[in-house]
Amino acid sequence: MATGLLLLVNSSIFLAVLLGNNDAFPFYAAKTLPGLAAGEWWRLVTAGYLHIYPIHIIMNMMSLYNIGPIAEEIFGTRRIFTIWTISTVCGFLLSAVWTKAPSLGASAGIFGLMGALIAVGVMSKHPYARDLQKQLMINAGIGFIIGSLPMFPIDNAAHLGGLIGGFASAWVAGFPRPFDDAREKLWSLASIVALGLTIYAFYEVAMKLTQTAVKL
């Protein structure tokens, strides 16, 4: 359910910005150093749902479609949205430290899911988990190499931050434990907090857009 929701929200926002020719939305929602320095913390969340070019959204949504269901099946919907949110924030935090360039895209969260699945290979001794871990480490490595090429404007810092955030949060979250009711309630609460934070972040962007429209 979380993967489907993420696919829907990312695609809907892209279409809304594209069809509405709305440059103001990315202006207030992307990760930028001046914005973060001004206290606009929500950019660390909303930047993970923004895409400008069709090839960008297509590649990211294909990756999410392939990786998301596997991660969600292992960790459950409650944990996966929390892992996604933490990974996105960690990714753009590291990006803010690493580079002054603006940044956006779901790839921080996607690398977070990759990090979570790599953590599965560490936590589990099952051969499938180990094979998946190796494959994802290779894919992540290829992604970092491509991101290092000058002809591709890819934010490797966001990818690295997302990968670390995903691995760490999955390590802490562990696998769902149906008989540990207190622990599962804690992760239910965490997912609600992550969802509430995301909704409030977009509310802040909406307020900025409203203020801009009023001034015009």
Angle between helices 156-173 and 107-123 (to 10 degrees): 40
What is the token pair recorded at 128? 């499938």
**159 in active site:** yes
Dihedral, CA of residue 109, residue 112, residue 114 and residue 120, to nearest 10: -140
CB–CB of 146/152 below 8 Å? yes
CB–CB of 91/113 below 8 Å? no
Identity of the residue numbered 127: P
Q: Catalytic one among 51, 95, 159, 169?
A: 159
**What is the number of alpha carbons within 13 Å of residue 137 lying toward its C-beta?**
12
**107 in active site:** yes
Three-state DSSP class for 145? Answer: helix
Q: Catalytic one among 63, 87, 103, 107?
A: 107
Active site residues: 107, 159
